[in-house]
Structure 1
Amino acid sequence: MEGVAGALGPLFLLILLGTLLSWRRQPGGDFWPQMERLIYFLLFPAMLVSTLATADVGQVPVVRMALVLLGSMLAFAGLLWTIRRQLKLEAAAFTSVFQGALRFNTYVGVAGAAALHGAPGVTVAAVAVALMVPVVNVLCVISFIAAGTLGPSSLGKSLAALIRNPLILACLAGIALNLSGIGLPGWSGSAVELLGRAALPLGLVAVGVALRPQALIRLDRGVWTSNLVKLVMMPALVLVLALILGLDPVTRDVALLFAALPTATSAYILARQLGGDAELMAALITGQTLLAMATLPLWLRLAG
């Protein structure tokens, strides 16, 4: 337990630092919104390209990992739609519960994989991102369409944003460079790697800045459902499947880590843009991030 806590502890301290900076309103103005854009559109894609372009992906059991992660995600997506009537939630609230149960904080996931297993962990995490990001984005957009919260104009914009998603494009670019044998030649490799190194610490601080502690007062059926799926049921199913399919320890730990991650802070923006319940989304993001500080080490300890 001390090893897991020692690896993840510094990550949570950076998140708490971000919360403190937000509370103190430092730096002021639009610094953090602009920083988030820089991380999302440049630094994090650079890290993914650098990792995937040069990694020995052949050492990662991609098919079995996909069965574990995507199988679990699709199973709970289907479950949530099956019990939608029993939840008695309005359409906007349901889409936020759906996002809260399925989306994951990529920054925390990759940083956690690096802290636990170093370079091999980052490679497996990059593969997990390449597998999960396109699928979860498609599922969430479909949920808004099916729930009826999207207007005709918003549908086209959301699909266009999905196609232009910088994380998806970065994964495709990195895989293409890897498979072609080009990699990142000359100085480009070191330059892209240096850019990518800035992504994780800044991304973790940005996670803390985005938290809204005042949103924690909301504790309704939607909050409990989403938190139960995301922090308990999803990692439990992933752990069982990982053991059944015989994943190696590094891949198993990273798969479990990504399954137990709190939901993504970007889900709040999506909820606002596509007709979701933004206040419920804020409560889910904040509550899950704080709860994950306790549940993540417990799940990883159980796996180990």
Structure 2
Amino acid sequence: MTEFLRILEFSFSVTGPIFVILVLGVWLRRRGMLTDAFVEAGSRLVFNVALPALLFISISKTHFEAAANFSLVAFGAVATLFTFLILEWIASRWVDEASDRGVVVQGGFRSNMGIVGLAYCINAYGEKGLVAASLYLGLITILFNILAVITLSRSLHTDRSMKGLLKGIVTNPLIIGIVAALPVSAMEWQLPALVIQSGQYFANLTLPLALLCTGASLNFARLKLERHSTLLASIAKLVFVPLVFVLGGYLAGFRDIDLGVLLLLSSTPTAAASYVMVRAMGGNAVLAANIIALTTVASIFTTSLGIMALRAAGLM
């Protein structure tokens, strides 16, 4: 019990501040300090500038030679595609509102690896955790964004042609930020300090602004009406996805730090980026915000249980 409480405290130390900012967004909205116009403009700023800058700065600092565990990345890609396809099938049968299916699917598979996941890995394994997670994060995040564009476009019936779908993927600011950073990382180019510092300013905006906008969009009345979709996405995110990654990773031969990284990255709450993408594409942003809020709170307990289970089995 003492071990569980210690792990719970560790989990809360990472996700607690995220929850606080979400609540602050709710409070500021009720006080009238955050308006629809602010949320709309803030979400666009995060999606088009701040989050791409964060991904670019983070990945450009990663050294490929140190982080190149391509077997882990390959497994992560296969597991992500598997969970995506299963969630697409589930959503087509269990989500009545067709336009909400992409929101549920994205909320189910898209992990907050860049903020919460990295923090988990660093706290659990130190520098080794950062190295093991960095390249994985960069490449799997590309896949996350491609799959998010596909599922949201399908459910919202926007740009359903292959040409339109490819255009949506190629012009996605998050994918552009990641792809632009990959050669910088691979070639180990030293960017000018002016570029790094300027990009870091925008990167630092990402999490607080995204979470404030997400909190301001929470609608507890809608949560009651859409609790089926919210719970479906949350259970998928916090139970189904981590089980697939950990059990699949174990069967694939991953152990110790690699298996721990798979658990820690897959058990994180739904990424704040899912909200800004849904809003940017004209989907049900309230549902996306509610999924983020619920998974953020519940992940404190589910991640702690997962860590305790792996440690009890001697696998982490």
Does TM-score exceed 0.5, indicating one fold?
yes
In the TM superposition, what are the counterparts of 1:3-42 in structure 2 within 5 Å? 3-28=10-35, 30-42=37-49
Classify 1:213/1:61 alpha carbon distance in 2 versus 1 (closer, same or farther; 3 Å).
farther
| 1:157-206 residue CA offsets vs partner (Å, 9 max, x unmatched) | 65433212222111111111122332313443344334433433444434
CA–CA separation in structure 2 for the residues paired with 1:152 and 1:289: 32
Classify 1:255/1:20 alpha carbon distance in 2 versus 1 (closer, same or farther; 3 Å).
farther
Deviation, 1:260, is 2.3
| 1:12-31 residue CA offsets vs partner (Å, 9 max, x unmatched) | 22232223222323244633
Q: What amino acid does structure 2 have at the position aligned with 1:217?
A: K
In the TM superposition, what are the counterparts of 1:102-117 in structure 2 within 5 Å? 102-105=109-112, 108-109=115-116, 112-113=119-120, 116=123
Aligned to 1:231: 238
Q: Percent identity?
A: 23
Deviation, 1:235, is 0.9
The TM-score with structure 1 as length reference comes to 0.77
2:59–2:182 CA contact under 8 A, matched in 1: yes
2:63–2:186 CA contact under 8 A, matched in 1: no
Of residues 301, 306, 315 in structure 2, which corresponds to 1:294? 301
Classify 1:5/1:284 alpha carbon distance in 2 versus 1 (closer, same or farther; 3 Å).
closer
1:215–1:286 CA contact under 8 A, matched in 2: no
| 1:19-54 residue CA offsets vs partner (Å, 9 max, x unmatched) | 322232324463333233333322332222222222
Deviation, 1:232, is 0.3
Aligned to 1:75: 82
Aligned to 2:314: none
1:267–1:281 CA contact under 8 A, matched in 2: yes
CA–CA separation in structure 2 for the residues paired with 1:48 and 1:230: 22
In the TM superposition, what are the counterparts of 1:1-304 in structure 2 within 5 Å? 1=7, 2-28=9-35, 30-83=37-90, 87=94, 89-105=96-112, 108-109=115-116, 112-113=119-120, 116=123, 126-143=134-151, 149-150=156-157, 159-218=166-225, 221-244=228-251, 245-246=253-254, 249=257, 252-265=259-272, 267=274, 280-281=287-288, 283-304=290-311
Classify 1:21/1:273 alpha carbon distance in 2 versus 1 (closer, same or farther; 3 Å).
closer
Q: What amino acid does structure 2 have at the position aligned with 1:172?
A: V
2:26–2:216 CA contact under 8 A, matched in 1: yes
- Unpaired segments of 5 or more residues in structure 2? 1-6, 312-316
CA–CA separation in structure 2 for the residues paired with 1:197 and 1:114: 20
Aligned to 2:3: none
1:154–1:274 CA contact under 8 A, matched in 2: no
2:108–2:236 CA contact under 8 A, matched in 1: yes
CA–CA separation in structure 2 for the residues paired with 1:154 and 1:265: 28
Classify 1:183/1:49 alpha carbon distance in 2 versus 1 (closer, same or farther; 3 Å).
farther
Deviation, 1:282, is 5.2
Q: What amino acid does structure 1 have at the position aligned with 2:40?
A: P
Q: What amino acid does structure 2 have at the position aligned with 1:299?
A: G
CA–CA separation in structure 2 for the residues paired with 1:170 and 1:189: 14
1:112–1:257 CA contact under 8 A, matched in 2: no
Classify 1:104/1:29 alpha carbon distance in 2 versus 1 (closer, same or farther; 3 Å).
same
CA–CA separation in structure 2 for the residues paired with 1:29 and 1:224: 26
CA–CA separation in structure 1 for the residues paired with 2:36 and 2:103: 28
Aligned pair count reads 302
CA–CA separation in structure 2 for the residues paired with 1:83 and 1:28: 35
Query: CA RMSD of the aligned region, Å?
Result: 3.7
The TM-score with structure 2 as length reference comes to 0.75
1:134–1:168 CA contact under 8 A, matched in 2: yes
Classify 1:86/1:51 alpha carbon distance in 2 versus 1 (closer, same or farther; 3 Å).
closer
Deviation, 1:295, is 2.7
